[in-house]
């Protein structure tokens, strides 16, 4: 039990609380111990670690228990630090003089630190209410699972630790027609840490992140052309981007626009297919100006960069001068650098990238010349959640004169939400946009009538904290 606050303290009472030191000497309670990511731990706050030590130094002192979430991580969800770690003997009592602390000896409470120095994530989770790790609930009953009331509970996330929710999956792209399929909704991001609403301080909060919501699927449409001898044209919306998290949400799927027909028929052509969303990866890369090539070639060298085509990244100039052609703190889209050798032919280089100003430009290799000079100093690129895929673009020469074009662009999938490092929930994924039309010259609409699907809504992001 917590030792008294005044009066005579017996050595046996100290030993009952902290265990018996070598040779039963009071001086052996001068402890400086490293456990997990925690260093220089005293027996309890205020107990001397060197010099003179006396019985009055133990007034109001109690055993300090370190729950071991530092040698163990989990990709499962709903892991409980009490039932899955403490109750199975995975803890240390500072000082090392006792190895067990029966619940009936917790009168007045104990100091409990849940030390996280591994990754706890949420593989298999799918709901905002799912979490990666829980502290364990409070419960007065000795026979029930949970910390006794009066426990001084805290969480310390070390430099190698993280508690991260799963990213929501992107919704699939929609299409119209007789069997209308709406754009799919983005999946929910899951939450990170479940803890008491109060009296549970957390250190290392920046390493606790809710998963981002998945982006909604874009709108698709089936159009009936004005000419009676033309078959309906079905075009698909883009898939939503996956939300960031561990694991990352997958990008939503879509369908190519051939509809078992040729892509160019009766004056109508698909200038591009709909695209799937990208995965919500958590990639942050730093590099120096020496890794930037301007001039004629124009690329950034980042070995094993891990970025996907059309992935959204935020460029930051962290020191020196910004890269020529880029603006600081601005979002760009990744273009894999195309290399050639005789063994592979043309392939996406895993060590070099270029940048574009939109996801469609990135998908079609436009804006490759953005990088003009290498700048100076250091720079970074940070992934921002999966990118929603562009919808199909249908072009038609409505009067067959080769001078008037009309087109429809199907709905783009919504972007997946981010899993921020510094605060709050994962962002909700944006919904897919409605399709829109544009007419060049005096041409008429591309279709006489159409059947349109609805866009999918974005999934909610997971919370940093859920409360008991």
Per DSSP, the residues of 261-328 read S-SEETTEEEEE---PPPP----EEEEEGGGEE-TTT-EEE-TT--PPTT-EEEEEE-SSPPPTT--T
Q: Which of 248, 240, 121 is nearest to 191 (CA)?
A: 121
Quote the pLDDT of residue 335.
Answer: 95
Say how far apart CA 258 and CA 234 lie, in whole Å. Answer: 8
Q: CA distances (Å), 186 to each of 256, 392, 436, 464, in order? A: 20, 20, 22, 19
pLDDT at 143: 62
Can you tell me the mean pLDDT for 4-32?
92
- Taking the C-alpha atoms of residue 234 and residue 256, their distance in angstroms, rounded to an integer, is 10
Between 440 and 57, where is the model more confident? 57
Max CA pair span of the chain: 105
- pLDDT given at position 86: 94
Confidence of residue 20 (pLDDT cuts 50, 70, 90): very high
Average predicted confidence (pLDDT) for the chain: 83
> In this predicted structure, what is the pLDDT of residue 261?
39
Instruction: Output the pLDDT for position 26.
Output: 94
What are the pLDDT digits (tens) for 424-441?
A: 445 556 555 544 443 333
Contact 148, 140 (CB under 8 A): yes
How many other β-carbons are positioned within 10 Å of the β-carbon of residue 423?
Answer: 10
Q: Has residue 365 got a pLDDT over 90?
A: no
| Averaged pLDDT, 200-219 | 89
Question: How is residue 460 written in tokens?
Answer: 């909610």
The stretch 75-88 carries a mean pLDDT of 95
**Residue 260 pLDDT:** 38
pLDDT of res. 422:
34
140: left (phi over 0), alpha (psi -120 to 50) or beta: alpha
Average pLDDT over residues 170-174: 86
Least confident segment among 32-41, 137-146, 359-368: 137-146
Residue 443's φ and ψ, nearest 5 degrees, are -70, 165
Measured CA to CA in angstroms, residue 409 lies from 221, 394, 412, 439 at distances of 10, 7, 8, 12
Average pLDDT for residues 5-25, to the nearest whole number? 91
Give the C-alpha distances (Å, rounded to integers) separating 52 from 28, 43, 108, 301.
11, 15, 27, 59
- Between 318 and 139, the higher pLDDT residue: 318
Cβ-based burial of 346 (10 A; exposed 0-12, middle 13-18, buried ≥19): exposed
């Amino acid at each position: 039990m917590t030792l008294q606050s005044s009066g005579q303290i017996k050595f046996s009472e100290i030993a009952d609380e902290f265990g018996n030191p070598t040779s039963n000497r009071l001086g052996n309670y001068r402890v400086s111990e490293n456990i997990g990511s925690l260093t220089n731990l005293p027996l309890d706050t205020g107990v001397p670690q060197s010099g003179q030590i006396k019985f009055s130094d133990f007034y109001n002192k109690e055993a300090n228990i370190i729950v071991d979430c530092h040698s163990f991580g989990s990709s499962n969800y709903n892991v409980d630090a009490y039932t899955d770690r403490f109750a199975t003997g995975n803890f240390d009592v500072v000082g090392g003089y006792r190895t067990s602390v029966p619940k009936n000896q917790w009168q007045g409470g104990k100091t409990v630190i849940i030390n996280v120095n591994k990754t706890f994530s949420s593989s298999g989770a799918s709901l905002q209410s799912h979490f990666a790790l829980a502290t364990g609930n409070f419960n007065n009953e000795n026979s029930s699972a949970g910390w006794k009331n009066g426990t001084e509970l805290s969480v310390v996330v070390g430099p190698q630790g993280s508690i991260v929710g799963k990213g929501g999956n992107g919704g699939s792209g929609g299409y119209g027609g007789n069997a209308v399929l709406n754009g799919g909704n983005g999946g929910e991001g899951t939450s990170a840490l479940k803890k008491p609403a109060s009296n549970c301080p957390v250190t290392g909060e920046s390493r606790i992140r809710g998963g981002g919501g998945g982006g909604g699927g874009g709108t698709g449409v089936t159009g009936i052309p004005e000419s009676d001898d033309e078959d309906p044209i079905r075009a698909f919306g883009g898939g939503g981007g996956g939300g960031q998290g561990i694991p990352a949400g997958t990008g939503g799927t879509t369908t190519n626009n051939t509809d078992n027909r040729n892509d160019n028929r009766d004056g109508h052509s698909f200038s591009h297919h709909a695209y799937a969303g990208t995965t919500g990866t958590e990639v942050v890369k730093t590099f120096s100006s020496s890794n930037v090539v301007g001039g004629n070639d124009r690329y950034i060298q980042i070995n094993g960069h891990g970025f996907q085509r059309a992935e959204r990244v935020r460029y930051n100039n962290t020191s020196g001068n910004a890269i020529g052609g880029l603006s600081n703190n601005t979002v760009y889209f990744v273009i894999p650098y195309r290399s050639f050798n005789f063994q592979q032919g043309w392939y996406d280089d895993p060590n070099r990238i270029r940048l574009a100003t939109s996801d469609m430009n990135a998908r079609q290799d436009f804006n490759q010349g953005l990088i003009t000079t290498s700048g100076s100093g250091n720079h970074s690129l940070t992934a921002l959640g999966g990118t929603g895929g562009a919808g199909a673009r249908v072009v038609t020469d409505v009067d067959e004169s080769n001078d008037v074009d009309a087109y429809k662009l199907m709905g783009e999938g919504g972007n997946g939400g981010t899993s921020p490092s510094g605060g709050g929930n994962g962002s909700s994924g944006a919904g897919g946009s409605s399709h829109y039309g544009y007419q060049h010259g005096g041409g008429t609409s591309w279709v006489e009538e159409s059947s349109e699907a609805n866009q999918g809504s974005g999934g909610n992001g997971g919370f940093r904290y859920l409360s008991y």
